Amino acid sequence: MKKIILSGSTVTGDLTLGNYIGAINNWKQLQDQYDCLYFLADLHALTVYQDPKVLRERTYSFFAQYIALGLDPKKNIIFNQSHVHEHTELAWILTCLTPMGYLNRMTQFKEKSEKHVKNINAGLFTYPILMAADILLYQTDLVPVGEDQRQHLELCRDIVGFFENRYGPGVFKMPEAYVGKMGARIMSLQDPDKKMSKSDENDKNFVSIIDDAKKIEKKIKSATTDSGTDIKFDPENKAGLSNLMTIYSVLSGKSIAELEKAYEGKMYGHLKVDLAELVVETLKPVREKYDDLMKNKDHLDELLKSGADRAQVKARVTLDQVYKTVGLLKY
């Protein structure tokens, strides 16, 4: 039997060129090797105030972006978190097992509390437990996590321990971090010392996969470089230029050495113009597929319902076992 991989993304911001290169482009390979579940974490998004109309539209948008990027809804189970009520049911049971001291250690709560001082809500404090429920509900073997989420996976593993200490083993799998082939690390266009992020408040720092051609060209051409003239890959001294060369290398299939040779004696502007054209052409079919999908919300609703139904079949098996184990009556 194939191992199960689960990954969720909060429906805030837009997926970026960095997401495409660093992760999603490799997800298409995973769908033939593993049983993959990808969910839209709309419940997690509620820890920060969301305009209801914007949240609904962005949820559709994220789903359409996933499909436009090549994730097959037949090979993968792609669904909306709030459509599978078992997530919140299991989260409550796990909340009743999790010591507050463990939640107090979560560095993301401290960081987000500082960022959202007017909305430090209980959901912001307890959402790592909902994240644990997301994972454990599907008997997940592997979870792709970045450094910022590794602490939450450790808490999830701790929660399995709390459950087994009270009720015994055999209900949940112990999830592991997935360390697979990752694409190049793509940095911010204006601040190449930090990673390109879909939640960045500065629109100039990232290329969205659904940006139009003019916007992509403008962002690439205005990307930070340095005062030099030689087109050489040097991440330490030429961070901005090296970031652009990395993007160029990945999308074109050309090595860094080939690019250095091709642009010998040329200016940074030449490389930016060519790179902008390459990014536009790479993302053009994605944008076209996305636009087509967003014009047919009924079709998206059908796909979302199908994904949720398939996810719920798996989730119900786990939750029924949890109910039986903790003493709740089955309905």
Annotation marks residue 112 as catalytic = yes
Length of the chain: 331
Catalytic residue among 112, 219, 238, 314: 112
Query: Residue 189 has which token pair?
Result: 């266009």
Residue 259 one-letter amino acid: L
Question: What's the first-to-final CA gap in the chain, in angstroms?
Answer: 30
Catalytic residue among 195, 219, 238, 314: 195
Annotation marks residue 110 as catalytic = no
Annotation marks residue 194 as catalytic = no
Number of Cα atoms under 13 Å in the Cβ half of residue 159:
32
Long-range contacts of the stretch 146-150 (C-beta < 8 A, 24+):
148/108, 150/177
Within 8 A by CB and 6+ apart from 170, the residues are: none
- Tell me how far apart the alpha carbons of residues 211 and 215 are, in angstroms, rounded to a whole number: 6
The tokens 């996590």 sit on which residue? 145
Within 8 A by CB and 6+ apart from 185, the residues are: 18, 22, 195, 246
**Does residue 265 contact residue 231 with C-beta atoms inside 8 Å?**
no
Catalytic residue among 3, 198, 254, 297: 198
Which of the residues are catalytic?
112, 195, 198
